[in-house]
Amino acid sequence: MVHDELLSAALRDFTSTLRGDFPIQGILDNLVHRVTEALPVAGAGATLISPGLAAQYIAATSEPTMRLEQLQTQLGEGPCLLAYESGHQVSASDLGDDDRFPLLAPMAVAAGFGAVFTLPLHHATGRLGALDLYLEPAGPLDPRHLAVAQTLSDVASAYLLNAQSRDQARDGADQARSSALYDALTGLPNRVLLEQRIEHAAQRAERSQTFAGVMIIDLDEFASINACHGHAAGDQLLRAVADRLLSSVRPGDTLARTRGDEYMFLCEDLPGPREVEDVAGRLAGALSTPFVLPATGGGPLMVTATVGLAYAGAGEDLSYEVVVDAAVALYQARRRDGVRNRLVDLRSARQTGDRSIFRRDLQNASALDRLDVAYQPIVRTADGRVTGAEALLRWTDPNRGPIDPRAMVSVAERDGLILQIGEWVLRRACEDHDHWSRAVASPVDVSVNVSAKQLMAPGFSATVATVLAETSMDPAALVLELTESIFLDDTERALMVLDDLRAFGVRMALDDFGTGYSGLSHLRRFPVDIVKIDQAFIADIGSGSAGTAGTAIIRAVARLAHELDLSVTAEGVETTAQHEQIRRLGCDHAQGFLYGAPMPRHELSALLEANRGATLSPGVPSRPTTASAARLSVVPEPARRA
């Protein structure tokens, strides 16, 4: 009866202070103090141990007991480690006469302790650590007291296990957010995070009445460096450039890598436009010293860059439009031979000047059939067979090279050209698909990106129906790729349009899943057939804790998608290790440079005809065949590595 009362009181006191969200250290601290209050012991210590006998958390009731807990992991011996390894209680009733701990025992005796009794902290499937009960005189501990201590340690283990699971879930969520917001190669913020920073900068600029500027730094001839020295050298250069540029960034400003060889810089709290130009000059100057890269044999490598600048004046609206203006400035800088940076005044550029020139050139390119479509293969992960291709919009000027897709699409959307261009891409893709379907025995799908303005425009469903009829396209072979932003403004309207498209037999894919507003719960509501997992999670595979979180996310998405009868495609696959991992995790299809860079329609036709339903070996990467290997599409999105 005395034992029951003692146990009941100890449990009541112990659990009354614990909550469901109590931290691990707090649980251990509570345990050791409650034990010493409830039992006739001189002190207590508890240590959580990770595999490899490394201490994760330590709690103790006094300085001497804390020192003894620390010494056990430092010395590699002691009752705590023995109880953890064996899973059983350890009794040392006379430390002065115990030869199991030749290093620790004399130190414990010198600290005034004659005995120690240790209980394992464990659960049904694993071990957590151990609880040490210290006695001042040598001698036994009443079995009833040991039973109370064991019960308290078991209860504490349950709380600890719950806290560990909670922390791991939180860490996984943090890693997932980090993967979606940071570039895997350089560690810099990506475009998603940059957009968030611009929103915050707009709020600060409104209060401070200061200038803010955006610069796009685009490396010159990067594709040639990749072609001459290989992609390993290209990756080393991208990291080295990031380090150089970071050295010129002020605290509070943001340097991001937004696609292949392009960096973007957001600077805030500037007195005027002159300071914007000064910062641009400083960034360009950071690249003036040659780079020395191991992958090129150590020889000096000169790199130049073109910079496009735009700014918002004091108290003026700052939004993502400033990025578009910087892209327009970059375009204009490349139009003018010898000009390496150009400043665009955001106040006037929206109506006249450079934006008008850009719009005119884009309109002419569209009217004169100077736009093009490249296709990136989509393969089945089980056997590498090509099952589809994604249509990617391109505009390559013969003198200035590839045009930034964000500038092109943003201006097209703002000035009403996106409907015309979007319909052209859809028709072109369907016409090309008709050629492929006759040339190969097995069916091949074609995917076309659709922007929110296209989808929500009056008559979009009718446009799709007309194109399908005029090109004799099989609706089941057409996949329209959407981003979740489509559902944010007018969800009901978007769902009605998608229902109309599904009635035709067209399929839908949710692109870039895992970034922005995407969530697993949304898969249950949106009428999609395919989930495309963003490349940020694929890039993290095999990269430590970030890779662990990315793997867990991919597995969870694949499992839920399959339960909902959806197909899963992994984007941005570049290595055979990534291919094998996504296949094991349940991804049905994949695309990326491992299987093929975006290629002209005749190259894809030749590939399909030569292979008659092509199986692409994931062991032999297909390198880009043009200087512009980055993914360009009808909707703004993170581009693939150049």
* pLDDT single digits (tens) 422-432: 899 999 999 99
Strand partners, 165: none
pLDDT value of position 53:
60
CB 591 within 8 A of CB 376: yes
> H/E element holding 372?
strand 372-380
Biggest CA–CA distance in the chain, Å, is 97
* pLDDT over 50 at 184, yes or no: yes
Q: What is the mean pLDDT of the chain?
A: 77
Pairing of strands 43-50, 54-60: antiparallel
- Position 409, amino acid: V
The architecture in CATH of the region 185-352 reads 2-Layer Sandwich (3.30)
**Average pLDDT over every residue of 392-396:** 83
Q: Percentage of residues in the chain with pLDDT exceeding 70? A: 73
Please state, in angstroms and rounded to a whole number, the distance separating the CA atoms of residues 405 and 395.
8
The Cβ of residue 616 has, within 10 Å, a number of other Cβ atoms equal to 20
For the chain, first and last CA: distance in Å? Answer: 76
Residue range 410-457, pLDDT digits in tens: 667 766 778 888 899 999 999 999 877 776 766 789 999 998 888 888
Strand partners, 507: 479
Residue with tokens 């401070």: 208
At residue 628, φ and ψ (nearest 5 deg) are -110, 90
What are the structure tokens assigned to 128, written together?
Answer: 């957590």
pLDDT value of position 261:
84
Please state, in angstroms and rounded to a whole number, the distance separating the CA atoms of residues 337 and 525.
52
Cβ neighbours of residue 90 closer than 8 Å, sequence gap 6 or more: 79, 82, 83, 117, 118
Positive or negative torsion for Cα 606, 608, 612, 616: positive
* pLDDT over 80 at 211, yes or no: no
Angle at Cα 166 formed by Cα 164 and Cα 168, nearest 5°? 70
| Interhelix angle 354-367/321-335, nearest 10 degrees | 80
Claim: this prediction has a pTM higher than 0.95: no
pLDDT value of position 544:
47
What are the structure tokens assigned to 558, written together?
Answer: 């694949």
E strand map for 467-570: 478-482, 507-513, 530-533, 567-570
The ranges of the chain annotated as CATH 3.30.450.40 are: 2-178
Pairing of strands 90-92, 54-60: unpaired
418 DSSP 8-state letter: H
Residue with tokens 């002419």: 364
- Position 614, amino acid: A
Least confident window among 35-49, 242-256, 498-512: 242-256
Please give the residue that has the higher pLDDT: either 483 or 77.
77
CATH classification number, 2-178, choose in 3.40.50.300, 3.40.50.12160, 3.30.450.40, 3.30.70.360: 3.30.450.40
Please state, in angstroms and rounded to a whole number, the distance separating the CA atoms of residues 271 and 324.
22
The ranges of the chain annotated as CATH 3.30.70.270 are: 185-352
CB 453 within 8 A of CB 418: yes
Residue range 157-175, pLDDT digits in tens: 877 877 776 666 555 444 5
CB 96 within 8 A of CB 80: no
DSSP secondary structure of 35-48: HHHHSS-SEEEEEE
Residue with tokens 């700052």: 318
* pLDDT over 60 at 3, yes or no: no
> H/E element holding 69?
helix 63-75
